[in-house]
């Protein structure tokens, strides 16, 4: 059988056509490089998750400072008032009226509010009167600025001469049991009657100011 020229050309081109068809079929069945990337490529293409930025820490507010307390000036305590009164009472008070001079001061400490006896040291001086006949226990009283008073308990002094120093004692409690020498009183005074031809003389201590009052007559 004789093969024509055209048949020879067709037979020679057949393998190339088959190969071309095979390549085209493979290309159609393979996934598009742009549409579906390989898993490894997709993994690489995924963005890395990052934590959201944290806000800057706000410093804690400093607690408000407490206002500086002002210490009030305290009123004198009872003990301080007592000490001040005792100091005032130790300052001597003098009466120079008439022929007999009498000088008096607190003989021993007596705290304000104490109901124990109150002792005063007295000095009597004269140039013409017999001091031995004078009994201050019968002629002296102790009173405060409110008019409350107590009579003297006893007068202890040596006899003889024109110069006598002795102790005059008063009760520290009033008839109702309260203290005569109290922190609230403003003054104490010894009232002496009928000594040296003088009907009355007063020896006054100003306790409110902590200083003695002006001298008695």
Residue 125's domain is classified under what CATH number? Answer: 2.60.40.10
- CA 1, distance to chain mean position in Å, is 139
Residue 23 forms part of a structural domain: no
Instruction: State residue 212's pLDDT score.
Output: 42
Does residue 72 lie within any of the structural domains? no
Structure confidence at residue 7 as a pLDDT band (50, 70, 90): low
Domain span at 135: 96-212
* Spatial contact of 192 and 102, defined as CB atoms under 8 Å apart: yes
CB atoms within 10 A of CB 194: 12
Taking the alpha carbons at both ends of the chain, their separation in whole angstroms is 185
Question: What local confidence, expressed as pLDDT, does residue 39 receive?
Answer: 47
**Cβ-defined contacts of 184-188 (< 8 Å, 24+):** 185/144, 185/145, 185/146, 186/144, 186/145, 187/144, 187/145, 187/213, 188/89, 188/142, 188/143, 188/144
* pLDDT, tens only, 153-204: 999 999 878 899 999 999 999 999 999 999 999 999 999 999 999 999 999 9
Task: Please indicate, yes or no, if residue 157 is contained in any of the structural domains.
Answer: yes
Number of domains present in the structure of the chain: 1
């Amino acid at each position: 059988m004789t093969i024509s020229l055209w048949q020879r050309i067709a037979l020679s081109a057949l393998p190339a056509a088959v190969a071309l068809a095979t390549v085209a079929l493979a290309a159609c069945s393979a996934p598009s490089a742009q549409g579906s990337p390989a898993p490894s490529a997709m993994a690489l293409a995924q963005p890395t998750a990052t934590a959201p930025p944290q806000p800057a820490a706000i410093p804690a507010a400093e607690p408000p400072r407490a206002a500086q307390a002002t210490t009030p000036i305290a009123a004198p305590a009872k003990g301080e008032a007592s000490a001040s009164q005792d100091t005032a009472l130790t300052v001597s008070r003098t009466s120079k009226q008439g022929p007999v001079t009498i000088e008096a001061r607190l003989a021993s400490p007596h705290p304000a509010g104490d109901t124990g006896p109150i002792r005063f040291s007295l000095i009597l001086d004269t140039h013409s009167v017999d001091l031995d006949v004078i009994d201050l226990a019968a002629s002296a009283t102790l009173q405060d600025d409110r008019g409350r008073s107590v009579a003297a308990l006893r007068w202890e002094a040596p006899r003889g001469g024109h110069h006598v120093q002795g102790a005059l004692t008063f009760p520290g409690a009033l008839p109702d049991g309260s203290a005569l020498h109290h922190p609230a009183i403003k003054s104490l005074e010894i009232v002496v009657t009928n000594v040296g031809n003088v009907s009355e003389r007063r020896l006054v201590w100003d306790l409110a100011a902590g200083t003695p009052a002006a001298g008695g007559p």
